[in-house]
Structure 1
Amino acid sequence: MGQLDFIFSRRTPWRLCRHLAFWVSWYLFQVYLYSFTPSPILTKLSFWQRIVVNLGESFWYMLPALFLAYSLNYLVIPKLIITAKYLKAILAVLGLLFLTGGLSALLSLTIVEYFRRQYLIGHPGLLPGVIPTPFSIQLFMAWISGLRGSITIGGLAASIKLMKYFYEKQQEKTVAELQLLKAQLHPHFLFNTLNNIYSHAQDTAPMAAEMLLGLSELLRYMLYSCNAPLVPLKQELQMMQEYIDLEKQRYGNDLEVILQIPAIDPYLQIAPLLILPFIENCFKHGASHMLEKPWINIQLHMAGQTMHLKLINGKAAIAKAESGGIGIANVRRRLDLLYPARSDLQIIAEDEMYIVNLTLELHEPARL
């Protein structure tokens, strides 16, 4: 297993090894550091005596750091920061800091203080020199001192967590893009072949010629436009219309398509091929299985930069309930990667119809 595999592996043994290595390293660093920079009460101890004291103290001070680090990594970051709930995240962090400081002060004034004095009792001449300090000042200093160390290690652990998250998301995005490219038809000779067939079909089969022309436009869109991270929403909807027109040629007058699309802001952009798989699904799992008149209802509404897409298609009564094939699964994954906390997808399979509701907050680049 390579270094990256060890760092990013989700297998439990490797995760435990990573966490153990991290905390043991931090523990030993704390022991070593505070043995060189001891508190005033420990200055008269030898270096090795301070090591002994700090072995115990550092262990107890690690508990607040553990509490803060794991609360940040497994509650605040995944539940609030990644989901863009920033105000709640700030409040949660402030609350955690208060609790961490309180826990540090509690441990410092009870267990650590008891441990330290028990050790010093065995070293005459050290304990009598301790100057009494008011409890309120002791509490404040213990709160600040313990919180300082916990923030350092908690912040480091949270930074590592966030860096891992963004690295993994970038890798997943790259994999998704590669899968998208693999799903496309790349051979450039295909366009020449289609053009040749189109030329011959214009005279002998005009309808087939029109279908070839529409197919050629779809393929060109998949091959070239989809390499961009964003495309105009109008272009994505135009390709949707091209696909519907192709299917209409196949079904003839038997197919009823109700299409409601308002005027679209030309500046709005969307990740390519997010809508088309749902349209394909309407035909694949709906219209193609219906013995009687198949129907599809497509409604698109805009509220500022938020797009609401609703697709309803009839299905045969005996059709098995499906939530889409691999195409829909890929779209779900792309939505999670590209539109986290900015999209909502619901697919409902009823007895006689499928319903898809997609809400998406779109991109709007700066207007020229």
Structure 2
Amino acid sequence: MTKIIIKILKKAFLHLLFWVVVWFFFSSFFSVGSTNKNFIFWFSTLLSIISIVSSYVFVYHLIPNFLIVKKHQLFALYTFYSVIFIVCAVLMTVVFGFVFFYNLEYQKMPGLTKNSGVILVCVLLIIVLASAFKILKHNFESLEENKTLENKFLQTQLQLKEQELQFLKMQIHPHFLFNTLNTLYGFALKKSDKAPEMILKLSGLLDYILYQVDKPLVFLQDEINHIKNYISLEKSRFQDTLKVDFFIETIHDNLQIPPMLLLPFVENAFKHGTPNNGILKVKINLMLAEKHLHLQVVNSAKIKETSKKGIGLQNIQKRLEMLYQNHSMLNIHQDEKLFTVTLKIPIKNEV
């Protein structure tokens, strides 16, 4: 509250100082050739009042309500009315001095005070200066506001990117890592030849998850390769209790997508899948058609087991909203035996 009062007082002081300077300008300019100080005082005061009223009409009404909002015809019309008022007021000021201070003796009046053209130019000059300051101030404030909005927009974008990065790094469920490490431990105890290969695939997958997500786009083939590594690791863990069919059609080498966009759907199938007759079945179809990438992941499941969506699936839905707005399609369907996810996203070639 105190800051507001100080701001108002400071603004009032600056306005008062400006109009005092204007009054002294009129007094000094029109006193040339005149010794009647009483006349000069009142003459300068009346001109200052005309300038104050006219300037504030322009600064606080005509410019913000018509010129700035581009109502140019109305601004021109009201400016014309204002100029008529100013001309009449100046002429009345001349008549005031002519009647009350010089007893209708026109020749005794100072040369500058009976020249209506000069008086009118001085008053209009003050009004133009005040109006120009208002317009410049508005332009400066607009630039500052635009800069502030731009900074807020960039900050929001940065926050979204950081949030997206966190979403990405949370995609692969910790249970997968825990189970894979347990499987590796078992292979290590048996001194299996599969252990080094599993370590290599797990290392590549973790590198992709932790570091490659910083990139805005990755090659679709890289995403596919990591999906294959993920499936291979899961096969090592499930052994004969897993059946995976992965079909890929019409995929070109130069296609790019955001990183970790497809892998969470595959991870979700293993996490929420339920074995049917002792075997977990996962079917993955990936194809390109009409400049859209189509992914369908189907896994055997039970309704009780799949009633809740995994964190990866929730995150990927948020990512799709951020990346594609209304240009992507995600359908999730489940029945007594199958859980199906269908994704469709626009895609373009990038070399």
Q: Which amino acid aligns with 2:209?
A: M
For residues 347 and 292 of structure 1, do their structure 2 counterparts lie closer, same or farther at Cα, with a shift above 3 Å needed? Answer: farther
Distance in 1 of aligned mates of 2:187 and 2:207 = 18
Q: Which amino acid aligns with 1:105?
A: Q
Q: Which residue of 1 aligns with 2:160?
A: 172
User: 1:242 aligned to 2:229?
Assistant: yes
User: 1:280 aligned to 2:267?
Assistant: yes
Q: TM-score, normalised by structure 1?
A: 0.53
Partner of 1:177: helix, strand, or coil?
helix
Distance in 1 of aligned mates of 2:56 and 2:142 = 23
Distance in 2 of aligned mates of 1:308 and 1:54 = 66
For residues 165 and 206 of structure 1, do their structure 2 counterparts lie closer, same or farther at Cα, with a shift above 3 Å needed? Answer: same
Distance in 1 of aligned mates of 2:149 and 2:293 = 33
Q: Which residue of 2 aligns with 1:302?
A: 288
Could you list the per-position Cα deviations for residues 310-340 of structure 1 after superposition, in whole angstroms to 9, with x for gaps in the alignment?
A: 3333431334544x44333443444455x35
Deviation, structure 1 residue 181: 5.8
User: 1:221 aligned to 2:223?
Assistant: no
Percent identity among equivalent residues? 26
Q: Which residue of 1 aligns with 2:255?
A: 268
Deviation, structure 1 residue 279: 1.2
For residues 184 and 314 of structure 1, do their structure 2 counterparts lie closer, same or farther at Cα, with a shift above 3 Å needed? Answer: closer
Deviation, structure 1 residue 364: 0.8
User: 1:53 aligned to 2:49?
Assistant: no
Could you list the per-position Cα deviations for residues 148-168 of structure 1 after superposition, in whole angstroms to 9, with x for gaps in the alignment?
A: 99x968974556534431342
Partner of 1:297: helix, strand, or coil?
strand
State the structure with more CA Rg: 2
Q: Which amino acid aligns with 1:313?
A: N
For residues 53 and 230 of structure 1, do their structure 2 counterparts lie closer, same or farther at Cα, with a shift above 3 Å needed? Answer: same
Distance in 1 of aligned mates of 2:60 and 2:276 = 69
Q: Which residue of 1 aligns with 2:64?
A: 62
Deviation, structure 1 residue 239: 0.4
Could you list the per-position Cα deviations for residues 179-224 of structure 1 after superposition, in whole angstroms to 9, with x for gaps in the alignment?
A: 6568899xxxxxxx99x969845x6445666544432332233344
Q: Runs of 5+ in structure 2 lacking a partner? A: 23-45, 94-115, 118-134, 174-180
Deviation, structure 1 residue 235: 1.2
Q: Runs of 5+ in structure 1 lacking a partner? A: 1-16, 37-44, 67-99, 131-147, 186-192
Q: TM-score, normalised by structure 2?
A: 0.55
Conserved in 2, the CA contact under 8 Å of 1:342 and 1:360?
A: no
Conserved in 1, the CA contact under 8 Å of 2:294 and 2:343?
A: yes
Deviation, structure 1 residue 271: 2.8
User: 1:344 aligned to 2:328?
Assistant: yes
Deviation, structure 1 residue 240: 0.6
Partner of 2:253: helix, strand, or coil?
coil
Distance in 2 of aligned mates of 1:171 and 1:158 = 20
Q: Which residue of 1 aligns with 2:132?
A: none
Q: Which amino acid aligns with 1:284?
A: K
Deviation, structure 1 residue 277: 1.3
Distance in 2 of aligned mates of 1:51 and 1:228 = 61
Partner of 2:295: helix, strand, or coil?
strand
Q: Which amino acid aligns with 1:297?
A: K
Q: Which amino acid aligns with 2:312?
A: G
Find the partner of 2:303 among 317, 325, 340.
Answer: 317
- Structure 1, 239-248 or 112-121: larger mean CA deviation: 112-121
Partner of 1:261: helix, strand, or coil?
strand
Distance in 2 of aligned mates of 1:310 and 1:120 = 80
Deviation, structure 1 residue 243: 1.1
Conserved in 2, the CA contact under 8 Å of 1:347 and 1:355?
A: yes
Q: Which residue of 1 aligns with 2:311?
A: 326
Q: Which amino acid aligns with 2:202?
A: L
For residues 321 and 123 of structure 1, do their structure 2 counterparts lie closer, same or farther at Cα, with a shift above 3 Å needed? Answer: farther
Deviation, structure 1 residue 280: 1.0
Conserved in 2, the CA contact under 8 Å of 1:65 and 1:153?
A: no
Could you list the per-position Cα deviations for residues 271-325 of structure 1 after superposition, in whole angstroms to 9, with x for gaps in the alignment?
A: 322221121112223x147676543332222247642323333431334544x44
Partner of 2:249: helix, strand, or coil?
coil
